[in-house]
Amino acid sequence: MLGQLIEPEISEMIAKREFGALRRALQSFASASIAELFIDLQAAEMTVLFRILPRDRAAEVFEYLPLEQQEALMHELGTDQVAQILNEMAPDDRTALLEELPGPVTRRLIALLTPQERAIATQLLGYPESSVGRLMTPDYISVRENLTVGQVLDHIRKVGHDKETLNVIYVVDEKGTLLDDIRLRELILAEPEAPVSSLMDRQFVTLRADQDQEESVRAFQQYDRVALPVVDSSGLLVGMITVDDVMDVAEEEATEDIQKIGGMEAIDASYLNTGFWRMIRKRGGWLSVLFVGEMLTATAMGYFEAEIAKAVVLALFVPLIISSGGNTGSQASTLIVRSLALQELRLGDWWRVLMRELRSGLTLGAWLGLIGFVQVLVGQSFGWIDYGEHYLRLGVTVWISLTGVVAFGSTTGSMLPFFLRAVHLDPATSSAPFVATLVDVTGLIIYFSVATLVLRGALL
């Protein structure tokens, strides 16, 4: 929004080397807005703009940039400036950047950190990828329960300036075991002389550092918090996760699921930032697998070559019938994939879903079949198309086949995500194209089998 409005002027100032005016112009914008402005700039312009920012502003703006742009900028900047930015970044944002880069680059960058920041970085990078540990920040405040509220507030005033969020502080025992979380608002509302223990209810929700990030999204949604503490397997407090990072994870997870449902591997960058051949690989892999699967349709139709030769009119309905099965299957699988992701459905619900999808499929199939039947009748009566003297039997064939194919599609589409979850694969892999391919071959067999039965003695 902002970027589009002022970009031309900024470009002009850069071109004219009006750095003083530029610096003054940028002063009045929030860091997030400056980052937004950067996104539309060329790499060279971006570097110029970045260098004229005050030191502390630079690190802040850098944190708001997308990962790809952070990477591009690091290539352009000198080692000193990179070291300075890295040391001033919040640990969780820094971890996100470091884990995105190739191994040797990450090692070189870690070497630029101060010993203290290096210890934090390597600890966070020690957790598995996509784990809560990678997402957490060690920038939290913890206190002991024998302090008073006033002492805690003094402590916050002393150490709080560098901390990522002060909305929640944590109470720990002498070993560092988490005892409770206390919101800053509770401290403000309490009497300064009151002991911390008087605010404690020992009810708190924690995340474990080795949990998957996806589970942190569920926890934040369920408990409506702005931050959650992270503990290790023995209950020691090791970090904190903030809601802004969790929102980013939720968005990424949804994007991955959507891309998988669309029938491709998840790409982990934006469309225009993904290279041509990388994109071809991500899409071509699944397409090839589906294509080879779909080759079975040629084999299936080969079995009925004699029937098609006798009644070419049968071939006309092939795309209509198999696509209806595919469409219903794609609806069903999409519904179930999302419900499983949101934990509205559990693995044990499969039987209930199967029965329901069978009913839905038969109902929808009978309805679509009716439309098909009417079309054959109307087309024949008005003379738009000639289905031959046995058009009534042909219409019945279409009706019955559609009922069967659509019922098969919706049950297959709904059961595939359950099956994938049961064998510990991602249910989202059950994409619309995947389901359609599964349903196509069976759809053809159902259609030609019904045709053989209904049209025997007539067309066949």
- The Cα 245–Cα 64 span in angstroms is 12
The pattern of x and - marking residues 230 through 249 that bind a second copy according to CB under 8 A reads: -------------xx-xxx-
**Neighbouring residues of 194: CB distance < 8 A, sequence distance ≥ 6:** 148, 149
Nearest CB to a second copy, comparing residues 199 and 301: 301
Widest Cα–Cα separation across the chain? 97
| Contacting range for a second copy; rule: CB under 8 A; set: 11-19, 73-81, 94-102, 216-224 | 216-224
- Give me the least distance between CB of 10 and a second copy, in Å please: 18
Extract the tokens encoding 445.
Answer: 């067999």
Q: Is 251 in the site for a second copy (CB under 8 A)?
A: yes
Interface residue with a second copy among 42, 122, 177, 221 (CB under 8 A) is 221
- Interface with a second copy by CB under 8 A: which range of 7-15, 74-82, 95-103, 364-372? 364-372
Please identify which residue in 327, 403, 412, 442 interacts with a second copy, judged by CB under 8 A.
Answer: 327
Cβ nearer to a second copy, comparing 48 with 329: 329
φ, ψ of residue 458 to 5 degrees: the values are -105, -90
| Stretch of 22-30, 50-58, 69-77, 171-179 contacting a second copy, by CB under 8 A | 22-30
Q: How deeply is 356 buried, as exposed, middle or buried, from its count of CB atoms within 10 A (0-12, 13-18, 19+)?
A: middle
Residue 309 touches a second copy, criterion: CB under 8 A: yes
Q: Are strands 227-231 and 207-208 parallel, antiparallel or unpaired?
A: parallel
333 is an interface residue for a second copy by CB under 8 A:
yes
State yes or no: residue 381 binds a second copy (CB under 8 A). Answer: no
What is the Cα 158 distance to its own chain's centre?
39
Q: How far is the CB of 182 from a second copy (least distance, A)?
A: 13
Strand order in the sheet with 168-172: 142-143, 168-172, 178-183
**216 is a site residue for a second copy (CB under 8 A):** no
Are 417 and 430 a contacting pair, CB within 8 Å? yes
- How do the residues of the chain divide into helix, strand and coil, expressed in percent and rounded to 5? 70, 5, 25
Instruction: Evaluate the CA torsion angle 281, 287, 292, 293 in order and state its sign.
Output: positive
Q: Which is nearer to a second copy, 412 or 431 (CB)?
A: 431
**Nearer residue to a second copy within complex by CB, 82 or 168:** 168
Site for a second copy contains 224 (CB under 8 A): yes
The answer to whether 73 touches 103, Cβ cutoff 8 Å, is no
Q: Select the span of 78-86, 107-115, 121-129, 363-371 touching a second copy (CB under 8 A).
A: 363-371
- Alpha carbon distance 387, 368 (integer Å): 19
**Considering the complex, what minimum distance in angstroms separates the CB of residue 350 from a second copy?**
12
For position 198 contacting a second copy by CB under 8 A, the verdict is no
Measured distance CA(22)–CA(54) in Å, rounded? 12
Return the residues of window 425-454 that contact a second copy according to CB under 8 A: 431-433, 436-437, 440, 444
The answer to whether 94 contacts a second copy (rule: CB under 8 A) is no
